[in-house]
Amino acid sequence: MEKSSFPLHVGIIMDGNGRWAKKRGLPRPAGHSAGAAVFKKIVRYSSSIGIRYLTIYAFSTENWKRPVEEVGALIKLFKQYLQDALRDFLNENIKVCFLGDTSAFPQDLQNLISETEEVSKNKTGMVLNIALNYGSRAEIVRAVRLLAQEVKSGKLEPDAIEEADIEKYLYTSGQPDPDLIIRPSGENRISNFLLWQSAYSEYVVMDILWPDFKPKDLDWALEEYARRNRRFGGV
Q: Residue 99, SS3?
A: strand
- End-to-end distance of the chain based on CA atoms, in angstroms? 24
Q: Does domain 3-135+177-227 have CATH number 3.40.1180.10?
A: yes
Where are the chain's structural domains? 3-135+177-227
Q: Which of 63, 177, 192, 212 does the annotation list as catalytic?
A: 63
Where do runs of H (alpha helix) occur along the chain? Answer: 17-23, 28-49, 68-87, 107-120, 136-152, 163-167, 215-227
Over residues 133-141, mean pLDDT: 97
Separation between Cα atoms, residue 185 and residue 205, nearest integer Å: 8
- CA angle 86/87/91 to nearest 5° reads 80
Q: What is the pLDDT of residues 32-90, one digit of tens each?
A: 999 999 999 999 999 999 999 999 999 999 999 988 988 998 898 888 888 887 776 66
Annotation marks residue 15 as catalytic: yes
Q: Does residue 98 have a pLDDT over 90? A: yes
* Of 127 and 70, more confident: 127
The structure's pTM equals: 0.93
Annotation marks residue 207 as catalytic: no
Secondary structure element (H or E) that encloses residue 130, with its range: strand 126-134
